[in-house]
């Protein structure tokens, strides 16, 4: 393990022990610009991806994670990248995905090889991809501020695409979702709609900066956005129509001080009767303005539909349900981890890799019901080692030890099993990896048996 990895692990372990941190919700890579989508009882979280050690918004692909409990997130890999768009040069910035008529449309901004920032649309039959460029060219190019698309379909079927920095524009999308009718409309950014700018005052007319996020709730249209200027806070405006006029409401999340990034980006959903607010910070080890991480907190709308001030927390949210350990769970379903990474193979999909001695994965709210007796894991291994399974804490009760053996290499998958102490009820689980050689095994899935 290199010195940096040891140092990061120690910092992370300290954070985990001292604060029970759950934010940021993804620790395997740097993620930014959260765009959650609820589909068929599952939350799909689409994000951007800041490259390690970035000193600019160096972003080459987008990522997808899923959850049905809001605390354990399954890594679905990178279903979309700049390579998907033959015309894209760089800057895989903030996008949003939406379902319509059995297909999934993902609107994303990129720097066009000659035209500058432009918005493309990718399409897939599955929310986890693979996605392909739907039209082979930008859907929107109206100026060099064509970034951060947000998309919304109203109850009458009319879809709207909003975007932009320093401007805020929209078009009415056609039902095919890959073309639009009418003109590109520029939204008036005035004091009534978007408040006044109180810092970084340049020629911009309002506090609106970027990162719009539109939806409708109880007949009220909400527009969230990053405001400021820089460093950004998050604010919202509302309207009785999808096309405005917008009325400025309030700040939702103030500038995050320590551990923040100078940008922020809202994503809001209701799920299983609760309301969730996604944003990003720079709080992972090595994190900052260009190495950001997606976070999640919960809030409740006020009676009148207004949104209270939300403070970023380290603890994050409580689960909306427990995890079933008696069905196959992906090793890449993670509430918190230290040291591991994920990779995708065509054979098994996304699995956990880069496992070093002492690395661990935490999975939250696992319901063993009346008890489990046996543990099974799909492993590809080139040498010996163990997975130690602890309940509730890293140094909690040792439930069992799964002995790893050489399965014939890092791509030769085998199912290994071990006995565990009979355990019932709901517990957090820690899989702690003990290995002699670096990167000597990969971990695909696990389950318990009664």
CA–CA gap between residue 94 and residue 181 (Å, rounded): 24
Region of 209 (left: φ > 0; alpha: ψ -120 to 50; beta: rest) is alpha
Quick one: 57 or 431, whose CB is closer to ligand FUB?
57
Q: Check residue 57 for interaction with ligand FUB (CB under 6 A).
A: yes
Of residues 50 and 69, the one with the C-beta less far from ligand FUB:
50
Write the Ramachandran bin of 269: left for phi over 0, alpha for psi from -120 to 50, otherwise beta. beta
Residue 147 touches ligand FUB, criterion: CB under 6 A: yes
Note the residue count of the chain: 450
Cα 362–chain centre separation: 18
Q: How far is the CB of 5 from ligand FUB (least distance, A)?
A: 26
**Contacts with ligand FUB, 209-238, as mask; x by CB under 6 A:** -xx---------------------------
For residues 93 and 112, give the distance between their C-alpha atoms in angstroms, rounded to a whole number: 12
Q: How far is CA 175 from CA 124, 136, 275, in A?
A: 16, 18, 28
In whole angstroms, the minimum distance from the beta carbon of 93 to ligand FUB comes to 3
* Per-residue binder mask for ligand FUB (CB under 6 A), 233-272, x = binder: ------------------------------x-x-------
33/428 with CB nearer ligand FUB: 33
x/- binding map, residues 375-414, to ligand FUB, per CB under 6 A?
----------------------------------------
Contact flags string 321-360 toward ligand FUB, x per CB under 6 A: ----------------------------------------
**Nearer to ligand FUB among residue 32 and residue 423 (C-beta):** 32
As a whole number of angstroms, the distance between CA 13 and CA 339 comes to 10
- Position with the least CB separation from ligand FUB: 93
Residue holding tokens 């163990």?
A: 386
CB of 108 to ligand FUB, least distance (A): 10
3-state secondary structure of 3: helix
Checking phi first, is residue 14 left (phi over 0); if not, alpha (psi -120 to 50) or beta?
alpha
Least Å from the CB of residue 371 to ligand FUB: 46
Q: Token digits for 83? A: 């390579």
Task: Please state the closest distance from residue 228 (CB atom) to ligand FUB, in A.
Answer: 12
What distance in Å separates the CA atoms of residue 195 and residue 281, rounded to the nearest whole number?
A: 24
Closest CA to 427 of 357, 341, 363: 363
Q: Which residues bind ligand FUB (CB under 6 A)?
A: 32-33, 48, 57, 93-94, 147-148, 210-211, 263, 265
């Amino acid at each position: 393990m290199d010195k940096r990895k040891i140092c990061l692990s120690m910092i992370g372990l300290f954070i985990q022990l001292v604060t029970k941190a759950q934010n940021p919700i993804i620790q395997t890579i740097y993620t930014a610009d959260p765009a959650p989508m609820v589909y068929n009882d599952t939350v799909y979280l689409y994000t951007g991806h800041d490259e390690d050690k970035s000193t600019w918004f160096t972003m080459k692909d987008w990522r997808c994670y899923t959850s049905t409990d809001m605390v354990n997130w399954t890594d679905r890999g990178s279903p979309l990248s700049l390579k998907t768009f033959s015309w894209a040069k760089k800057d895989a910035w903030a996008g949003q995905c939406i379902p319509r008529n059995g297909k999934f449309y993902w609107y994303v901004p990129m720097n066009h090889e000659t035209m500058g920032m432009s918005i493309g649309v990718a399409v897939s039959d599955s929310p986890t991809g693979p996605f392909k460029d739907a039209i082979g060219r930008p859907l929107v190019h109206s100026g060099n501020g064509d970034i951060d698309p947000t998309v919304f379909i109203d109850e009458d079927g009319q879809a709207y695409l909003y975007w932009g920095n320093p401007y805020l524009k929209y078009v009415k999308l056609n039902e095919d979702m890959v073309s639009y009718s009418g003109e590109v409309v520029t939204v008036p950014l005035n004091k009534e709609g978007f408040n006044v700018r109180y810092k970084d005052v340049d020629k911009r007319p309002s506090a609106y900066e970027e990162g719009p996020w539109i939806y409708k709730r109880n007949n009220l249209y909400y527009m969230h956005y990053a405001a400021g200027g820089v460093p950004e806070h998050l604010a919202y405006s509302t309207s009785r129509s999808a096309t405005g006029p917008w009325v400025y409401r309030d700040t939702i999340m103030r500038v995050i001080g320590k551990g923040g990034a100078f940008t922020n980006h809202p994503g809001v959903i209701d799920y299983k009767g609760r309301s969730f607010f996604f944003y990003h910070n720079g709080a992972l080890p090595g994190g900052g303005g260009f190495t950001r991480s997606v976070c999640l907190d919960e809030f409740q709308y006020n009676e009148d539909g207004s949104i209270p001030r939300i403070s970023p927390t380290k603890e994050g949210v409580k689960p909306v349900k427990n995890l079933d350990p008696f069905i196959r769970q992906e090793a890449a379903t993670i509430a918190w981890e230290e040291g591991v990474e994920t990779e995708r193979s065509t054979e098994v999909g996304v699995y956990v890799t880069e496992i070093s001695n002492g690395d661990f994965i935490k999975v939250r709210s696992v319901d063993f019901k009346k008890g489990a007796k046996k543990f099974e894991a799909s492993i590809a291994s080139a040498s010996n080692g163990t997975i130690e399974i602890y309940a509730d804490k890293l140094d909690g009760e040792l439930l069992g030890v799964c002995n790893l053996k050489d399965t014939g290499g890092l791509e030769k998958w085998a199912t290994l099993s071990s006995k565990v102490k009979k355990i019932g009820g709901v517990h957090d689980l820690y899989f702690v990896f003990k290995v002699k050689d670096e990167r000597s095994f990969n971990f695909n899935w696990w389950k318990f048996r009664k």
